[in-house]
Chain A
Amino acid sequence: MSTRATTGQRAASGTADYLDQRTGIGTAVKGFARKIFPDHWSFLLGEIALYSFIVLILTGVFLTMFFVPSMTLVVYEGPFAAMNGVEMSEAFASTLDLSFEVTGGLLMRQIHHWAALLFMAAIVTHMMRVFFTGAFRKPREINWVVGFVLMILGLAAGFTGYSLPDDVLSGNGLRITDGVVKSIPVVGSYMSYFIFGGEFPGEHIIPRLFTMHILLIPGLILALIGLHLFLVVLHKHTHFPGPGRTQRNVVGFPLFPVYVAKAGGFFFIVFGVLALMAGTMTINPVWNYGPYDPSPVAAGAQPDWYMLFLEGGLRLMPGATEFVIAGYTLSLNVLIPAVVIPGLLFTALAAYPFIEAFATGDKREHHLLDRPRNAPVRTATGVAILTAFFILLLAGANDLIATHFAMSLNDITYIFRVLFFVAPVVAFWATKRLCLGLQRKDRELVLHGHETGRIVRFANGEYIEVHKPLDEYERWIRVQHEARRPLEILPAHDERGVRRKGYHRDALRARVSRFFYEDRVEPVTPAELAAAHSHGEHDALEGHPSSGGVPAEIASGPSVDARDR
């Protein structure tokens, strides 16, 4: 045994020496091998996105070996009897061959499709995690933008991919795209020609989408993933607040061996689950749809989930918003849901870190994450955006809701039109209230401790319930955050009555800052805790309002309800 181990060790050290003499890799290994990464389940979401992308590349390479990106028409004469003698493009015929003649081809195509859905889902939930915990704050704003571009590229990759098989479903999807592009003022018609190489559908679109899908977009995604991960390593990962976790350290486990095993293993878990999904759940059975033809269309057709919000917007927008101005047609009924709303949504997302930095005026680095409750307006904003997104998503399935729940399609559409405007406002208000409530709950717990269920009777007949104080580790997570306060603004005129430069910018900043931080709950201070202990529990039981009548947790500023509208 010992001699064999020595041989192995000698071989390893020989290889290491060879590499180090030629690349100086020792420095990198020294720096990286024991690099510390923090642990939290929500940090896996980004990993899922990365691993689905690797699965996409692996299965995608398999598919390119058999798929023919051509719109040349052929007559199908393959094993699938139902399509025999049917005229179809080579793209569709080769997709059928992938299912019927290439053993494992269907599995690879279904893994590829499921992985694409999971890729987008993981990106979106990862983005939610980063948003709600404030991980986008300085110094990570650039990486937020990189991640945002990755999401857009993911949408583009998905769209170019599912259009490739040239079946009835994807062909009509392309036709909708053509209609949307044509609605763009001035250049719409030319952009349609630009995309299709002439009139729809032409014979260029599939090869063009193919080049986008297998070369350009994945190349960009790969490069940006590299940049994204480089910045993660450079900044060191954020960590959740907790005992021993500070802005100046990172607490967790070493890359080698713990994360090599955990993260490496997780790749295989993601791949395995995708294989299970593809093996047991049919997705996009193109042999049922048939080849694209400009005449037929399927009812109850939905795009992949990440495109559904656009489809929902198109369905909700009333037609009356198409205008003719000086002889030119302006199709706001298409332009607003398909171009303006996603444009606003995406711009708001990309710009959010900069908006919040403007409101806080905060130039410090942040490596400790926020608990979402401790940033009520941010959390509420995120939930409001998600609510609008979700309403559009449901609206994209309004026909399925109508058929499955036997409701009137028109009624559903009218309801969604209202909900699109009302629901985000309600969600904003409710989320903000929930966050403030949870913060109060934290205060309550810190001040009074856990309820024990033990009732004690004093000699004088008084009953109290014994509360168990929090230990210092439990307490720390509830008191460690700093309560942000609205920015104070200098007066418009200085002491000599001269207008101060930059007052308007400051006033705007103060307004934004008030919106963000006016309502807040301050964390418990040691003095408050001491006061609570000195009073003892029975004060709380009696429930007399204290003389001042002002609850200590509500900090200065106008009444909390002032901004509830």
Chain B
Amino acid sequence: MSNEQSSTDLTVSGAGTSPAAFQDPGMPPHQERMADKDPAAAKRAERQTVVLFAVSVLGTIGMLVAYFLFPSGDTVESMRTSNLLLGLGLFLSMFGIGAAAVHWAKTLMSDHEQAEARHPQKSDPETREAALAALEAGAKDSGIGRRGLLKGAVVSAVALAPLTFAVPLVGQVGGDWNVSNFRHTLWERGRRLVRDPSGDPIRAADVTIGSAYHVIPDGLREGEHASHWIEEKAKAVVLMVRMDPRDLTEAEDRRDWSYEGIVAYSKICTHVGCPVALYERQTHHLLCPCHQSTFDMADGAKVVFGPAKRPLPQLPITVDDEGYLVAQSDFTEPIGPSYWERLK
């Protein structure tokens, strides 16, 4: 800062006679526009404004013509054509009016700046006093200060009355409020793994090494679940992959949860619940496209990158008598994102 050259000649020498601050010079002189000085220029500006309004009229007509001649139709192409023509028509129709109005204002309307006085926001002392007096008189008339019981009655009645609205609303807005539903899915002992969305059962022998299957429980839309199958599907979706069993690292207590290198994990991310859908065959990594949590399918679906903390829950599987893949049980922990009472 010390080598600040620009101001080395500026040491203030005993302020002298100059005023402490500069004075506002007041409004600068008005500059006349072309249209103010030259009638021909004003006429020209008027014509330009008229042309812009005419553009708007043409745009409106064009939009109506497009509406009748180019309905949106059955294909994406015809829909796009219709959209483009209608959009251009609407653009001209609106923009013409706007441009004309602004051009008119800028070229032909008076551009003499004017000043208007401001006044302090607060009211003057007499008004304030009168307002205070009015409030005091009102309070005195009501007698609220003297009648304590009345005050209590008003407060209690007004405070309680909203319950008539709140209780019925809160009581029912959350359905049955049975949040323990988070713990259970449709998977149970012997339920077949079927392909999503076809519903075809999967024979273990048909699953090649390196392939990935999007799986739902068999009978998803049947029985008592039929009316709320989407909620069940949202919890039960599974991603199943097969890899060389030698690549697989399995925990001691989960050795029998896989079947000849086939492993099945919940497809719902343990971060905030997106479907984890991108499987990379070489690394056995499964990537959530929403927030990039990455799970290692060869090692208990543990998190190798990203904002998730917990591994994906594993679905214990085996095969039935006909060689189709089935679940051994439900998931052994709640699937999906963490919540407060998850482990309770």
Q: Chain A residues in contact with chain B, CB under 8 A?
A: 35-36, 79-81, 99-107, 110, 139, 172, 175-176, 178-180, 182-190, 192-194, 197-202, 234-236, 243-244, 246-254, 257-258, 261-262, 264-273, 275-276, 278-280, 282, 287, 293-301, 311, 314-322, 324, 327-331, 333-334, 337, 365, 367, 398-399, 409-410, 413, 440, 443-444, 447-448, 472-473, 475-476, 479-480, 524-532, 535, 539-540, 543-554, 559-561
Q: Does B284 contact A (CB under 8 A)?
A: no
Instruction: Select which of A36, A188, A472 is within 8 A of B115 by beta carbon.
Output: A36
Whether the Cβ atoms of B115 and A251 lie closer than 8 Å is yes
Binds A, one of B19-27, B37-45, B136-144: B19-27
Whether B67 contacts A265 by the Cβ 8 Å rule is: no
Majority DSSP secondary structure for residues of B touching A: loop
In the complex, which residue of chain B has the Cβ closest to the Cβ of A271?
Answer: B94
* B306 lies within 8 A of chain A by Cβ: yes
> Could you tell me if A295 and B118 are in contact, using CB atoms closer than 8 angstroms?
no
A387 CB to closest chain B CB (Å) equals 22
Which residues from 171 to 190 on chain B have a C-beta closer than 8 Å to any C-beta of chain A? 173-177, 179, 181-182
Please report the C-alpha to C-alpha distance between residue A296 and residue B216 in the assembled complex, in whole angstroms: 12
CB proximity of B114 to chain A, nearest CB, Å: 5
Per-residue CB contact flags for chain B residues 152-195 toward chain A (1 = under 8 Å, else 0) read 00000000000000000010011111010110000000000000
Chain A residues contacting B99 (CB-CB under 8 Å) are 265, 269
Contacts A279-B90, A413-B292 given; indicate if A269 touches B118 (C-beta within 8 A).
Answer: no
Task: Contact check, B182 vs A189: say whether CB atoms are below 8 A apart.
Answer: yes
Find chain A residues with CB under 8 A from B307 CB. Answer: 314-319, 333-334, 337
Q: Scoring B residues 266 to 277 as 1 if CB is less than 8 Å from chain A, else 0, what string do you get? A: 010101111101
What residues of B have a CB within 8 angstroms of the CB of A258 in the complex? 105, 109-111
B residues whose Cβ falls under 8 Å from a Cβ of A: 1-2, 4-13, 15-16, 18-22, 24-28, 67, 70-76, 79-80, 82-88, 90-102, 104-106, 109-111, 113-118, 120-121, 170, 173-177, 179, 181-182, 196-197, 214, 216, 228, 230-231, 233-235, 237, 267, 269, 271-275, 277-278, 289-293, 303, 305-310, 336-344
Chain A residues with CB under 8 Å of B170's CB are 194
Residues of chain B contacted by A297 (CB below 8 angstroms): 274-275, 277, 289-290
In angstroms, how far is the closest chain A Cβ from the Cβ of B270?
A: 9
In the bound assembly, the distance between CA atoms of A546 and B4 in angstroms comes to 11
Asked if B176 and A103 sit within 8 Å, CB to CB, the answer is no
Query: B91's contact among A101, A265, A272, A540, by CB below 8 Å, is which?
Result: A272
Q: From residue A436, how far is it (CB to closest CB) to chain B in Å?
A: 10
Q: Give Cα distance in the complex from A273 to B88, angstroms.
A: 10
Contact A264-B4, Cβ < 8 Å, known A334-B271, A527-B16: no
Say how far B11's CB is from chain A's closest CB, in angstroms: 5
Interface contact A35-B308, CB-CB below 8 Å: no
Asked if residues A193 and B91 are in contact (CB atoms below 8 Å), the reply is: no
Q: Is the CB of A269 within 8 A of B95?
A: yes
Bound CA–CA A80/B137 (angstroms): 72
In the complex the two chains form, is B1's CB within 8 Å of A532's CB? Answer: no
Could you give 7 example pairs across A and B, Cβ below 8 Å?
A: A185-B340, A190-B177, A190-B179, A193-B175, A328-B341, A334-B272, A529-B18
| Chain A residues whose CB sits within 8 angstroms of the CB of B179 once the complex forms | 189-190, 192-193
Residues of chain B contacted by A559 (CB below 8 angstroms): 1
Within 8 Å CB of B237, what residues of A? Answer: 294-295
Chain B residues whose C-beta falls within 8 Å of the C-beta of A268 in the assembled complex = 94-98, 101
Q: Name the B residues within 8 Å of A311 (CB-CB).
A: 291
Known: A248-B118, A272-B90, A272-B93. 16 other contacts (CB 8 A): A80-B74, A100-B73, A179-B336, A183-B339, A199-B182, A251-B27, A253-B113, A322-B338, A328-B343, A330-B340, A333-B307, A334-B307, A365-B120, A367-B118, A444-B6, A552-B11
Residue of A nearest to B71 (CB): A103
Q: Is the CB of B309 within 8 A of A440?
A: no
Chain A residue nearest in CB terms to B21:
A525
From A178, A329, A475, residue with most partner B Cβ within 10 Å: A329
Bound-state Cα–Cα, A398 to B102, Å: 42
Which of B72, B196, B343 has most A Cβ within 10 Å?
A: B72
- Quick one: closest A residue to B2, CB to CB? A549
- Look across to chain B and name the residue whose beta carbon is closest to the beta carbon of A97: B72
A328 to B340, CA, bound (A): 5
CB-CB under 8 A from B176, the residues of chain A are 198
- B72 near A99: Cβ-Cβ < 8 Å: yes
Q: Which residues of B contact A273 (CB under 8 A)?
A: 91, 95
Which residues of chain B have C-beta atoms less than 8 A from A331's C-beta? 309, 337-339
Bound Cα distance A526, B231 (Å): 76
Residues of A with C-beta under 8 A to B102: 261-262, 265-266, 269
A525 touches B117 (CB 8 A): no
Q: Given A100-B79, A334-B337, A176 and B272 touching (CB < 8 A)? A: yes
A176 with B79: CB separation less than 8 A: no
B26 touches A243 (CB 8 A): yes
